[in-house]
Copies of this chain bind each other. A is one copy, B any other.
């Protein structure tokens, strides 16, 4: 049985607590199924800054690159609000994405029926919601140069960020979206601002060409990103797969996540290209929620998004579909049992802490 190298980055805030629950699940898979997961842990974000003065050390970066999959909990917190820009906690996350070339960010917005009532939307609009946002993650305004603040001759300052997309960057993310659509309802909606951005116009053209050349069996539509934001709020169930750029994806996937009413439940996967020689792809998995410094260390954080992120890891990095489904079923199961952490607490349910929730998933798994 092959070894499977996992690199865990608990990060900051509630990160360590929810990572501990995940470790229980991983060990169970090793014990029961002889899954052969090897766990290493590293530092990222504020934790790395405190230890090494950077948002991720070169050494941990190398270990991330060598792993079969990275699982990151969350970074950031008020403690590091005034550290220098280049070593702020988010820089660790951005370096992992860039150095591992994780260009495809998969962010499912799924509404667990046990939680539909906690959405701010009317339940009938979100019940059964299952939208997959495919966000480009290594390009656009996040990394384009120039990116600077300069002094002008007139005594003013000027800030500049640059949105840059090359053909291949749009081609590969479009292909990921179309491929995933084929495993779902076979529909992709591409979002950009072609009416004001050249990169939007270009995005639209490249996505359309990739569709025509290789994926004409998939239904493709286009929507302006502002209209897309509206439509997500108005009738989110109209979408199957949404593909969009790094910055629009950041905002629209957060809007979509909030529609489900349970941010604490949502996982994400960030994938690189498949290595043609080995068939493997670099990958990092993360819950969508943040580091929640306000509740850190109290044992009350919700570990379910972290565990659901590992289910995505089983599916996308290790092709362990049955185990992924079993883990997802275990998560739904504990919700159906009425167990809730504080963030998703509802009338008539039983409030549990982080480790009790983790144990409940373990028992149902």
- What residues make up the interface of A, taking CB atoms closer than 8 Å to B? 85, 88, 90, 94, 120-122, 125, 141-142, 144, 147-149, 152, 156-168, 193, 195-203, 225-227, 229-230, 232-235, 247-248, 250-252, 254-255, 257-259, 263
Cα of A141 to Cα of B41 in the assembled complex, Å: 40
Cα of A152 to Cα of B168 in the assembled complex, Å: 12
Copies of the chain in the assembly: 2
Which of the listed residues A94, A142, A164, A254 has the most CB atoms from chain B within 10 Å of its own CB? A254
List the B side residues contacting A200 at CB < 8 Å.
Answer: 161
- Output the least CB separation between A270 and chain B (Å): 15
List the B side residues contacting A259 at CB < 8 Å.
Answer: 233
| Contact residue among B122, B159, B164, B198 (Cβ-Cβ distance under 8 Å from A121) | B122
B196 touching A90 by the CB < 8 A rule?
A: yes
A198 touching B263 by the CB < 8 A rule?
A: no
Cα of A253 to Cα of B23 in the assembled complex, Å: 42
A163-B166 contact in complex given A121-B122, A233-B258, C-beta closer than 8 Å = no
List the B side residues contacting A158 at CB < 8 Å.
Answer: 164-167
A195-B88 contact in complex given A230-B263, A235-B120, A255-B229, C-beta closer than 8 Å = yes
Q: Which residue of B lies closest to A236 (CB)?
A: B120
A195-B90 contact in complex given A254-B230, A255-B229, C-beta closer than 8 Å = yes
- Output the least CB separation between A94 and chain B (Å): 7
